[in-house]
Structures are given as structure tokens and as C-alpha cells.
Amino acid sequence: MTVRTTPDLSSKDPDWWRQAVVYQVYPRSFADADGDGLGDIRGVTGRLSHLAALGVDALWLSPFYPSELADGGYDVADHRDVDPRLGTLDDFDAMATEAHRLGLKVIVDLVPNHTSHQHVWFQEALRAGPGSAARDRYVFRDGRGTHGALPPTDWQSVFGGSAWRRVPDGQWYLHLFAPQQPDLNWDNEEIRADFRTTLRFWSDRGVDGFRVDVAHGLAKDLSEPLRDLGATEVSGEATLAGLPPGSHPFYDRDEVHEIYRDWRAVLDDYHPPRTAVAEAWVQGARRALYARPDELGQAFNFEYLQTPWDATELRQVITDSLDTAAMAGASATWVLSNHDVVRHASRLLLPPGTDDNAWLLSGGHAPAVDPVAGLRRARAATLLMLALPGSSYVYQGEELGLPEVADLPVEVLQDPVWEQTGRVRKGRDGCRVPLPWTRTGPSYGFGAGAAWLPQPESFASYAVEAQDGVEGSTLELYRTALRLRRKLLQGEGLAWADDALPGVLHFARHEGWRCVTNLSDEPVAVPAGEVLLTSGPLEGGLLGPDTTVWLGG
């Protein structure tokens, strides 16, 4: 494995991202400065000191662009503006300036697969009619069957139901996500040129990098006749694994890489070059292609997120992830939580094979998750993740140990998944409940009024205020871990200890830093070395179940 020298985290280092810790801000749920119940950009600015004190290297903002919120902001009506409810471009500039002053890089979300149906392009396409240049920016087709009354193919939306919707003149348009998110046609040069403009727009404003939404979906095989998938399951993504690589009609096609090579030329025009990370639900070596240095540079590793709490499986996925990242010339990425999945303080305690949706529909009762046990495991998982070579993506609130809010009443659900699946899948609102900053107040310090999703009373004890300066709190654990990590970080190497007991993960980053996690049910001896940090108390000098220790030389 390549061992690099000590990373230089100064602002001009072109490799700053390789081992960075990136904090994901979901803007509508982070902090609400104007008291309308929805988080906003000035809310982010006001709380940047929390991120600086935490010790992360960068923040990634989920979309804050104009949007009717049909998909929590991933339905973008204008890629080069700020939603008026969240602020203005001046607010954004002030936020970025303050972040840079505090030594934090800024990454923004780019949503190139689709726009909002409110985007001027889509509105124009609806007016312009079949065969027009405006329609060619999207994927419009005639239907099948008598009078074209059937959708052009059997393709299914990720959110449930057909991926096609009919417009009044009889044509159909493609939407791999919500109907309010029409897919763009990336064969159209105008789309390519416009996204280059968007990359420059934010890069010129000082943005340091981009998180690319649905990076594996842009290139589509739109040659006639369009091919049916014959899929019976709801998401086309599930068929990917069963098809020869690159042959799926709309996911992970080889042509998608031309787009990213084109973007890299734009990103490399800046100093330091702008970074990019692919959100691509693609496995192993295929995923690594997105992370090549002449493309995006990094790709999220969702295989790690999806691995159950099991030492053998985790060791395998860590080894494979490091190998595939190295093959691509990238650094590995690690994610435990984000705005699309059940928070890891709850998820990791669910028995393997649990259907997350069934669990959410049970209000988090079947099976019940003990929050204390869940937090113990989450803290152990976090110290394990933060010891791995590469960059870690931390989702807002995990530094507080927040569990999933599994019992949100269905009347308050906002995620389109709920309605679009005919109220079968509960969706992702349980991990998007606004953050608690204070122990009291109408929304626990999130804002001056009630938050857009109700917070449970238990949030009071997780608030930043309740944990700040409290020895042993999860917030202090993250702060200490990130401070230590910065000091300990050297190369990107990892060596597994040969003598680890079953159920124990033990590896050395280098002589001065080793990480041991006990995933077994029994306490185990702590290997020799100076105890630098533990995720939970050592029991009589032993490493208890669901505990991680960092050891020095």
C-alpha cells in the first residue's frame, strides 16, 4: 500500500481532501436564523464555530438552491442561486468567507441528473411541444399502446411507480426520482455547457469542491427503441448487479466518464484544483472508475455503510475499499450516516437483514433499539471509521449521537417517498429532524419557532449545550478524536494485526497509532500500548463489547 507523507492541511495543498473529515450540513435542518422553521444559510454561518471547534476540515452543504422541496431540495429550479427562503447569494458568500477564515473548506452539492419541474427549461419544454429543441433538453418520448397511453418503457422510479409521467399533449417524460424531477438529456451539448458554467460559477465564488448527486445516472442509452428492463423490483438500481458492466440503460454506463473527464478540465483550472466526490450506488471496481484522478477524484463508499456490525465482513470491505481506491489513484471514503439512511446510532443495532422500512413503519418498536446500546456501538463504529486511511464524511448530528427519529407520525412526513409509494415506504425524514442546540426553547435552539419536522423531547439531552465540555459526552469524543487524528495522521497505509482474536478488528496505521475494536460479545484484553482514546470506559482494564480503543506506540 502506498504510504504518503504527513498531509499538509493548508489551504493551497492540492491534496487536502485525501484524508479530510467532511461534515455534511443538511441546510434545512441545521440552524434557522430567521425563525421561519426552516434552516437557512445565515443559520449555517452562525454555527460555523461549532464545526471549527469540532475539528473537521470541510463542510458539504446539501442543496440550498431554489426549490419547491418536492425532494428536500434535490429538485433544483436554478443551479446558480440560493432559495429565497434560505437566503441570498450574498449570504452564501458571507458564509463561505467565514468558513475559510475558520480554516474550513466548502463543498456544495451539484444535482446534474435532473432539474425541478419548475426550472425554466422544463417550463419551456412543456410549452414548446413535441420535437422542439426545448424538449430535447429532457427525455420526452411518445407512449406505447393505443394512443400512446402506456409509458414508453417499464423503467421504475427510485421513489416508486413508473419512471415516466404523461404531459397534456400526450408525450411522456422520464423522471428516475420524483415526477417533479425530470431527467436531463446529457446527450445534449447545451446541458453539458451549462453545467460547466455552473461549476465555474461556484468555483469562482471560492467553493472548494462538489458532491455530485446520482453521478452514475447521467449517461443513458436513449437509442430507439428504448429497452425494457423487465425489472420487477421498484428500483432500477437493484438490477445493476445482474447485468454485464456498463450495459444498464441508465445507470453506470461507460459514456458517463466522458462527462467527468470534461469536468476535471474545468476543476483543474483552479488553484488548488476543485475536488469532487461521486454519489454513485455502484459496487467495487466500477465505483473506483469515478474516482480516477482525471475524473471526480473520489467516490462515496456505500458498501462500507451497508456492511453489518461484523468483524469479518468489515475487515473484508475495508481491505477491498482500500484496494479499489488505490487502484484508481484515489483515497478511500467512509460514510456511516447521511440524509438518506437510518442514522447509525440506531441502524447498527438492527439485526442483519432487518427491513429498515418495516422497522420505521413500526415506529422503531419492532425490534426495539436500546438507545444506550445503540450509542455505545455508534461511538465504537465512529472511532473505527476515523482511524481508517482516507476521508470520512460525518453527517450533522452524529457528533451528538442522535438516534433515528423512527416514530414520526405519518401526518408530518415530507419525503416524497411516502406518497409516491402509496404510503408504503416511510422515507427519510427520521434522519432529517432539525438539530438540537440547546436543552430548552421551542425547537431546542434550532430557531426561534417550531421546526419544520417535530423534534422528540429526548433531543434535549442530546443538545450541543448538554454535551459541551461534559467529559465522556459524544460531542467531546468527536472533538478529541478529530484533534488526535490530525496529530497522528501520516500516510495512507494500514496493516492488520495477525494475532487479533475472532470478533476483534486490530490494525496499525503506523507505529504510533493503532486501532482495536471489539465486535464480539465478550470483553478482550487491550493490546500493549498507550491508551490514547476509547469510545467507552475500559472494564477492569479490558476492552468491552462494542468498544474501540486507539493506542499509541
The site for ligand NOJ (CB under 6 A) is made up of 71, 74, 111, 177, 213-214, 279, 339-340
CA quadruple 134, 136, 139, 142: dihedral sign:
positive
The residue (of 175 and 485) whose beta carbon lies closer to ligand NOJ is: 175
Task: State the nearest-atom distance from the C-beta of 279 to ligand NOJ, in Å.
Answer: 6
The residue (of 33 and 405) whose beta carbon lies closer to ligand NOJ is: 405
The residue (of 70 and 549) whose beta carbon lies closer to ligand NOJ is: 70
Task: State the nearest-atom distance from the C-beta of 53 to ligand NOJ, in Å.
Answer: 27
Answer yes or no: are the C-beta atoms of 403 and 343 closer than 8 Å: yes
Give the closest residue to 52 by CA, choosing from 106, 15, 7, 113.
106
The residue (of 116 and 534) whose beta carbon lies closer to ligand NOJ is: 116
Distance CA 303, CA 325 (A): 13
537 SS3 class: coil
Give the closest residue to 287 by CA, choosing from 302, 299, 304.
299
Distance CA 350, CA 95 (A): 38
Distance CA 32, CA 318 (A): 38
What is 390-446 written as a DSSP string?
A: SEEEEETTGGGTPPP-TT--GGG---HHHHHTTS----SGGG-SPPP-SSSSTTTTS
Task: State the nearest-atom distance from the C-beta of 72 to ligand NOJ, in Å.
Answer: 6
Task: State the nearest-atom distance from the C-beta of 457 to ligand NOJ, in Å.
Answer: 27
The residue (of 113 and 467) whose beta carbon lies closer to ligand NOJ is: 113
Distance CA 327, CA 283 (A): 14
Task: State the nearest-atom distance from the C-beta of 340 to ligand NOJ, in Å.
Answer: 5
The residue (of 208 and 213) whose beta carbon lies closer to ligand NOJ is: 213
Task: State the nearest-atom distance from the C-beta of 159 to ligand NOJ, in Å.
Answer: 8
Task: State the nearest-atom distance from the C-beta of 140 to ligand NOJ, in Å.
Answer: 20
Answer yes or no: are the C-beta atoms of 516 and 351 closer than 8 Å: no
Nearest-CB residue for ligand NOJ: 74
Give the closest residue to 265 by CA, choosing from 254, 255, 276.
276
The residue (of 415 and 492) whose beta carbon lies closer to ligand NOJ is: 415
H/E stretch holding 475 reads helix 474-488
